[in-house]
Structure 1
Amino acid sequence: MNWDQTGLRSENSTNTSENYDYLKFNPKPIEMYVFIDPFCPECWYFEPYFKKLSMEYGRFFTIRPIVSSSLNRETLCKPIKSMDYWKKITRQLDTELNEGSEKAISSPWRVSLAIKAAEIQGMKAGRAFLRKIQEYLFLRKDDISKEDILMNIAKEAKLDMEEFSEDLYSATAKKAIQCDLQLTHEMEIEDTPTIVFFNHSTDAQGIKISGLYPYEVYEFILQETLQTIPIPSEKPPLEELLKKYDVVGTKEISIIYDWPISKAEKEMKKLQFKQKVNRMSSKRGTFWKYLD
């Protein structure tokens, strides 16, 4: 695989019928490798941009989420550059996952295993589980490394609990973590969130973008990777969004619908008056929980 950190240029990015020809035969030509750390606040802040990109252009891409956690809590969200560091955490990971007992597995790896165990039930289930993990960590301030908390999260994410319990420390989940770690190293991922865009319908190099940027940057890179300018899909009604994601922030709504914060707040208060949502206040802003 090749990728280019600076490749924001293409020979042809116009919206022509010729450019759309290959889309007829490759409806989802783009693969996005999304490197995330469940403990990293920047990955949580990236979520509304990810939701909006999926709503407007999800018909063009598939997502491959890669869990890219550091081994120790104090090193999370920091650049990982040293080859010796990679050798060290690989050895420790092998020891913990293959030789140690389940209780001996350190907190970040247990959380990562849980995410991979959820993904065994499908990428949709994995995404729902990850969102719940971030919600528990950043809104509720719970210790997501505890097994009973992870089980509660799995239940709220509507996973098959028996299957999740069996997969949590399974060889399949462990192998998935080791594969994620290898990809993180091979693609020289130094920070999270990082996205690598690949177009498998062309010979062009991939494009890697690390950190948080305005939504328009992600949109532009997707267009460059597609080598065309697609028409964005219509976004769903607000209540459908809430029903799908369960908990959504006022700022998220503002970003997704291109509304001022004041309008997003006003629309949510209307739904609150109709007893469709509950308001949740936190240091990270106002969030709304949909009431079934």
Structure 2
Amino acid sequence: MNPRKKTDICNNITGVCGLDPKESNQPKAGKPIEIYAFIDPFSAECWSFEPLMKKLLIEYGDYFRIRVLLAGRLKAWNICPDKRNSNEKKLDLANTWDRIATQTGMSCDGDYWLENNRISPYVAALAIKAAELQGPQLGARFLRKLREKLFLEKQDISDLNILKACSDEIGMDVDEFLQDLHSPAAKQALDCDIKTTSEMEVECVPSFVFFNDDIEQDGIKVQGVYKYEVYLQLISEMLGYVPKKREKISIEQFLKKFQFVASIEIAVVFDLTIEEVEKELKPLILQQKIEQVPVKYGTFWKYLA
């Protein structure tokens, strides 16, 4: 089976695609490359890729669209029922999160694993697919909000109250979301992701498969996180020419677009140091257009204006 013949819906402005089993397959005009992004919402490595993905979208988003697939192996997601092994696994995960946060600057608080006992990644994954049923843009915002709750606030994102809060905060129809959460459509979409993960032999997250507009041609798979130039070179090879970078936007425009971002995300997108980012943001702080939000590792910025 060719995985790209699955049905999907795409937002041609943001470049984000989501699965919708109810929609017919339609050609996506204007964007010659499709990227399958295989992630695990609980993966700190996937979270740490956010700055690079934003840079790609800001600079070359005219050339590609993204389909997010949940690649976690569900049996492995759930904490082992044996208490001793479970505690060891939680401690290992906590240390991994803290190490990745320190190395990448993308904050994730490993204490989450030590403070939450009953974690159900399957429910969180199902919620992400349910959110996508309200459209790819809301689906992408829900995923981001969910990961902010997880990595920054140590919230249990398998808890129904947290899921409802996330859907409400991004402007979703909460009642519809709750219905979709228990619907066959959400389960079908998640099953579709898991099947595609297996068919494409994705063995780690994050992984990316790049396709051009020749549907019969095999994609190119990249597993793990690499330097920005690697992804740009791959896009150029898939296109057959060097893509033209979008007109540069201001930091304020970037903040307005994404609403809540880390210092490291601004630094990566605009090729600045953290110190330079803080200097650039001072006028916006004085104008009360942004609010500083300290987290365990670094700082996030909330757009207010």
Letter in 2 for 1:269: K
Shift of 1:267: 1.4
Q: TM-score, normalised by structure 2?
A: 0.75
Letter in 1 for 2:288: Q
Task: Name the structure 1 match of 2:273.
Answer: 260
**Identity percentage of aligned residues:** 46
Task: Specify the SS of the correspondent of 2:134.
Answer: coil
Shift of 1:26: 5.7
Shift of 1:240: 2.1
Task: Specify the SS of the correspondent of 2:301.
Answer: strand
Equivalent-residue separation in structure 1 for 2:256 and 2:73 (angstroms): 33
Task: Name the structure 1 match of 2:62.
Answer: 59
Task: Specify the SS of the correspondent of 1:229.
Answer: coil
Letter in 2 for 1:237: S
* Shift >4 Å, 4+ stretches: none
Deviations 1:37-83 (A, max 9, x none): 1100111111111111111111111211101123234599xxxxxxx
Equivalent-residue separation in structure 1 for 2:291 and 2:225 (angstroms): 29
Task: Name the structure 2 match of 1:140.
Answer: 153
Unaligned runs of 5+ in 1: 4-24, 77-104
Task: Name the structure 1 match of 2:209.
Answer: 196
Letter in 1 for 2:58: M
Q: When the two structures are aligned, how many residues end up with a matched partner?
A: 244
Q: TM-score, normalised by structure 1?
A: 0.78
Unaligned runs of 5+ in 2: 5-27, 81-88, 90-117
Shift of 1:204: 4.3
Which residue among 128, 132, 135 is the counterpart of 1:119?
132
Equivalent-residue separation in structure 1 for 2:145 and 2:281 (angstroms): 21
Equivalent-residue separation in structure 2 for 1:119 and 1:202 (angstroms): 24
Matched, 1:37 2:40: yes
Tell me the C-alpha RMSD between the 2 structures. 2.3
Shift of 1:251: 0.8
Contact 2:33 2:213 in 1 (8 A): yes
Deviations 1:157-202 (A, max 9, x none): 2212121111111110000000000001000111111110001237
Matched, 1:232 2:250: no
Contact 1:55 1:234 in 2 (8 A): no
Matched, 1:248 2:251: no
Task: Name the structure 2 match of 1:158.
Answer: 171
Select the structure of larger CA radius of gyration.
1
Task: Name the structure 2 match of 1:218.
Answer: 231
Contact 1:248 1:287 in 2 (8 A): yes
- Higher RCO (CA < 8 A, seq sep 6+): 1
